[in-house]
Structure 1
Amino acid sequence: MPFQRIEAEKLSHSVQRQIEMLILRGILRPGERLPSERELSERLGVSRPSLREAIADLQDRGLLATRAGAGIYVADVLGSAFSPALIRLFGSHPEAVFDYVAFRRDMEALAAERAAQFASDTDLKVIDTVFRKMEAAHSKRNPADEADLDAQFHMAIIEASHNVIMLHMMRSMFDLLREGVFYNRSVMFKQRTTRDLLLDHHRAINDAIQARDGEAARAAIRHHLTYVEEDLHRQQKAEANEQIAKLRYNHERER
């Protein structure tokens, strides 16, 4: 008969699976510090030797990393998504910016539709909470804060789509955006008219998701990122015009 004896699972394996799940679901993020060994063993209800065995295995597999004198951290599992050479290439070729926006438009439209359909009530509260923070930052006129919350809002939607492949892929993309590889988001939030429009866009996205209207959520994302694309074109054109104007001005001064 094709039956095998059931063996009790080692506690260390249970610990591994729980930490793996938290990393896979994006709850534990790259660079996040784990609690101390004593605290973590108490939370999990396991002995320190079992915990150490689990941690050692996760380190061997590159999911956790030790920092001397600082504890155990979630490894930079996103770091291998793009090689340093490719990141430099993205930054030096303007056309990569528009490919990036087009990619986001397609992926995030799908994520917004999925979030409207599959998000839990708590997921919706998270998205709405980040949007309310965007409204508060808008009134304070802080472009840097608005730009950071903009990224948080979009990531909250992706997380609420409950697709782990999309989550990790898009998180790596947003990390590059935060580093200014593709474009400086803060520039978009410096003009009052643009800031007002962007807030309206995010309000429409939030309203559609809160109403669980997948079609409207998808359309709102596409409308927003099409505007971002057009604004980036305007920025590039304005920068090119300014360079020509400077050449003309310097020439006139030298005549």
Structure 2
Amino acid sequence: MVRAGLKPGARLPTEKELADEVQMSRTVVREAVKILSALGRLSVQKGRGIYVAQPEQSSWQQSLANFLPADLRQVDELFEFRRHLETTTAHLAAQRATPAQVRAVREAARQSSEAADRGDMDAFTAADEAFHVGIASAASNMFFASTVDAVRRLQRQASVIGLAGAAGGSLRVAAGQHEAIAEAIAAGEPDRAHALMADHIDLTAHQFQREIWRRVVPGDGDNS
């Protein structure tokens, strides 16, 4: 189907025509169609034919597609989810990280500290990304790794709105937390890594909420 360039909704030849095309028996083709239909790749419509199935979005995919970075309720839910997700990856990373993964996480933390000292937001953002993705990879679970990647893409959307122009002092505090989390992972201390990551996500959430409040009520942000 990929080779033929068929798109969702496209009609395929009949089983007999497919068998002739691939030079296999109709029994083999029929079984292949059954398997692809069960996997959701094909749609067999009685009396009409075989079609390339329309991709279905899971509720998880749908929720990501509907995320609104300016909706404060959704952003709060995102931070809540991140807290549970990334405390778990930090906990697992402290148990499972290889020496090479530990070095990568430490290096990302170091780079975030250097960027914070320079007040370089772009460099800090890149190092921050490498740090969190590195920890997710070190958790050695592809589902955690892919979910952290997806959630952080949403986080970037929210940060553009809520954390643009974040103060250098805030970056330095976050970088210090990176360093502490990296050391807990390197030392193989899962409980400490978990607790430090919770504090780190909470800090980011608080910074976001404070910045939003400052923009809504100028001059009052420091009182939140």
TM-score scaled by structure 2? 0.65
* Residue 100 (str. 1) matches residue 100 (str. 2): no
Deviation at 1:95, TM superposition (A): 0.9
Identity %: 20
* Residue 119 (str. 1) matches residue 112 (str. 2): no
Structure 1 residues 213 and 237: alpha-carbon distance in aligned structure 2, compared to 1, 3 A threshold: same
Q: What secondary structure does 1:131 align onto?
A: helix
Q: Is the 8 A contact 1:201 1:220 kept in 2?
A: yes
* Residue 139 (str. 1) matches residue 107 (str. 2): no
2:183 to 207, 219, 222: 207
User: Hey, what's the Cα distance between the residues in 1 that align with 2:149 and 2:81?
Assistant: 13
User: Hey, what's the Cα distance between the residues in 2 that align with 1:116 and 1:109?
Assistant: 11
Return the letter of the residue paired with 1:183.
Answer: S
Deviations 1:46-99 (A, max 9, x none): xxxxxxxxxxxxxxx9xxxxxxxxxxxxxxxxx98634x853542342111111
Structure 1 residues 228 and 188: alpha-carbon distance in aligned structure 2, compared to 1, 3 A threshold: farther
Aligned-pair RMSD on alpha carbons? 2.7
Structure having the higher Rg: 2
* Residue 82 (str. 1) matches residue 61 (str. 2): yes
Structure 2 equivalent of residue 166 of structure 1 = 144
Gaps (5+ residues) in structure 1?
1-60, 62-78, 245-255
TM-score scaled by structure 1? 0.58
Structure 1 equivalent of residue 5 of structure 2 = none
User: Hey, what's the Cα distance between the residues in 2 that align with 1:92 and 1:140?
Assistant: 29
User: Hey, what's the Cα distance between the residues in 2 that align with 1:160 and 1:186?
Assistant: 29
Deviations 1:193-215 (A, max 9, x none): 21221111111111111111101
Deviations 1:121-165 (A, max 9, x none): 111111112112212222322112102211210110000000111
User: Hey, what's the Cα distance between the residues in 2 that align with 1:198 and 1:127?
Assistant: 15
Question: How do 1:222-237 residues align onto structure 2 when only pairs under 5 Å count?
Answer: 222-237=198-213
Superposition misfits of 4+ residues, deviation over 2 angstroms: 79-83, 85-92, 175-178, 182-190
Gaps (5+ residues) in structure 2?
1-38, 40-56
1:175 to 146, 153, 175: 153
